[in-house]
A and B are shown apart, each in its own frame.
Chain A
Amino acid sequence: DIVMTQSPDSLAVSLGERATINCKTSQSVLYSSNNKNYLAWYQQKPGQPPKLLIYWASTRESGVPDRFSGSGSGTDFTLTINNLQAEDVAVYYCHQYFSRTFGQGTKVQIK
């Protein structure tokens, strides 16, 4: 199984500032045949199901604000939230879809 490790486990960021979440996979999730990274990011607010934010590591899902961006390749990935808003308070998960495991989650709060 591919192990996903997110860092940090939680972070507090001031409104309008940037939040950065890292995700490291124990094996590369870059599929050589199509040069795509099999990695997605999800946002989960309390009492709600997760919501897809980013897929193929850097493609934003339709309707997701452009302050959310994904980057990285191979085994190291980053979710960046620019200009943090109050509604961005949530737990964020990375997910690799080779063997379909999730990171442990990162809780984002307002400082």
Chain B
Amino acid sequence: QVQLQESGPGLVKPSETLSLTCTVSGGSMSSYYWSWIRQPPGKGLEWIAYIYYSGSTNYNPSLKSRATISVDTSNNQFSLKLTSVTAADTAVYYCVRQVGDASGGGLDTWGQGTLVTVSS
């Protein structure tokens, strides 16, 4: 079955760029949508962006100006960059597979999540 694993620095300085990669194993990226979702400590869930395996993207309007999602199907990976981070971006970041279509669908496979702390 498909498994997702996030990787990237656990500590990022304010005003710098957060960069995370998700490696997809046990299956193909084709025909699915791939998302990043985050969860500040002790708080709820916030969708950041998704990318289709072909490269089409959609972003949360509140983060669109700072977020970039990309995909590398040859290496079964997709990535997130979030610029100009502040303490408010401190969260557990999850990479997630979405079934369905561009309109939406269930988020059926999640990575374990990686905590990113923004601090000097």
Contact = CB atoms under 8 A, between A and B. Distances in A.
Contact of A95 (B60, B100, B107, B108): B107
5 A-B pairs with the lowest CB-CB distances in the bound complex, closest first: A97-B104, A55-B106, A49-B110, A100-B47, A102-B45
B105 A49 contact: no
Contacts of B106: 40, 52, 55-56, 61, 97
Contacts of A77: none
Interface of B: 44-47, 50, 60-61, 94, 98-100, 103-108, 110-113
Interface string A3-24: 0000000000000000000000
Chain B facing A: main interface SS: loop
A31 B94 CA distance: 27
B44 A97 contact: no
A38 B111 CA distance: 23
Contacts of B94: 49-50
What does DSSP make chain A's interface, helix, strand, loop or mixed?
loop
Contacts of B45: 42, 50, 93, 95, 102
Contacts of A42: 45, 107
Interface in A30-89: 31, 38, 40, 42, 48-52, 55-56, 61
A68 B116 CA distance: 33
Given A49-B113, A93-B44, A93-B45, A100 B108 contact: no
Contacts of B111: 49
A61 B108 contact: yes
